[in-house]
Amino acid sequence: MGADLEDVLITPERLQQRIGELAAQIDADYADRELLLVGVLKGAVMVMADLARALRLPVHMDWMAVSSYGSGTKSSGVVRILKDLDCDITGRHVLVVEDIVDSGLTLSWLVRNLQSRGPASLRVCALLRKPSAARTDVDVAYVGFDIADAFVIGYGLDYAERYRNLPFIGTLAPHVYAADGGTAPESTAAASKAPDPAAAGSTGAGSTGAGNTS
C-alpha cells in the first residue's frame, strides 16, 4: 500500500502475543463452561479467527453483521441487522468479539439487543478501544489495546473496504481520506507512534478517528 500507510502501530507479533494473553484470561474465566463467540462482521474476522485458535476452551462460533446509520464515517447509534445469529443464545454464555470500539454506539446497541435474548452471561472482547468509547456505557471485559485517536487500518479494519488483509494495525496517511473527501480524525496529532506498554492491561496504539466506521 506504500505511501497510503503512515505508520505501523501494532506489529503482527505483538497482535498475536496480546491475543494469546486475552485467550489465557478467557480460558481461566470460562473454565468448565461452554462459550459461544459472536464475531461482528466484517472487521472482527481476523481477531475472531486468531482468538478462537488461541483458546483452549472448546467454543462455538457465530456471526452477526450490523450496519450503523450515520454520516459515513461516524456511527449514529441507530443500527440495522444485516445478518443475524444462526443460533438461539438463550441460557448460553456469550462473548461478543469486536475489532474496535470507537464511539461505542454500535456495541451499546448490540449488547442491549443480545441481552434481550436472555443469555446466561454476556461479555465483550474488543481488540482495539478508542478514548471516545469511555464516554459510553459499554463495558468491555477484554481489551486488547487502548489506542489514541487516529485512523487505523489492517487486521480486519478497512478504509472504504481496503486494507483489511494487512497483517498489522497501521495508521492511514491523512492524504488518503482527504483525497476522498473524508473527515480528518479528531486528533490526528494524537495518533501514537508506537504501542505504549505502560497502558493498563494492554498496549497503546492509535485508533480510528475519521472512522473505521466506514
Helical spans, DSSP H, in 141-209 = 174-179
75 forms beta bridges with 70
Nearer to ligand PRP, 48 or 52 (CB): 48
**214 touching ligand PRP, by CB under 6 A:** yes
Residues with Cβ within 8 Å of 146's Cβ and at least 6 positions away in sequence, in order, are 129, 131, 199, 200, 202, 203, 204, 205
Using the rule CB under 6 A, which residue among 104, 195, 206, 209 binds ligand PRP?
104
Tell me which of 32, 62, 86, 102 is the catalytic residue: 102
Strands (E), 11-58: 35-41
Q: Which of 35, 95, 100, 124 binds ligand PRP (CB under 6 A)?
A: 100
Q: Between 134 and 179, whose beta carbon lies closer to ligand PRP?
A: 134
Q: Which is nearer to ligand PRP, 146 or 158 (CB)?
A: 158
Given the complex with ligand PRP, which of 42 and 117 has the nearer CB atom?
A: 42
Residue 95: strand pairing partners = 37, 123
102 belongs to the binding site for ligand PRP (CB under 6 A): yes
Q: How far apart are CA 103 and CA 56, in angstroms?
A: 32
Alpha-carbon distance of 8 to 23, in angstroms, equals 24
- Interface mask (CB under 6 A) for ligand PRP, residues 31-50, using x and -? ---------xxxx-------
How many chain residues are in contact with ligand PRP, going by CB under 6 A?
Answer: 20
Q: Which of 6, 146, 149, 158 binds ligand PRP (CB under 6 A)?
A: 158
> In the annotation, is 102 catalytic?
yes
Site string for ligand PRP, 43-82 (x = CB under 6 A): x------------------------x------x-------
Which is closer to ligand PRP, CB of 14 or CB of 129? Answer: 129
| Cβ–Cβ < 8 Å for 45, 154 | no
What does the block give as the cell for 39? 464475531
State the DSSP string of 74-89: SEEEEEEEEE--SS--
Q: Using CA atoms, how far apart are residues 4 and 109, in angstroms rounded to an integer?
A: 33
**162 is a contact residue toward ligand PRP (CB under 6 A):** no
H-run or E-run covering 115 = helix 105-115
Q: Which residues are catalytic?
A: 102
Q: Write out the residues near ligand PRP by the rule CB under 6 A.
A: 40-43, 68, 75, 98-107, 158, 212-214
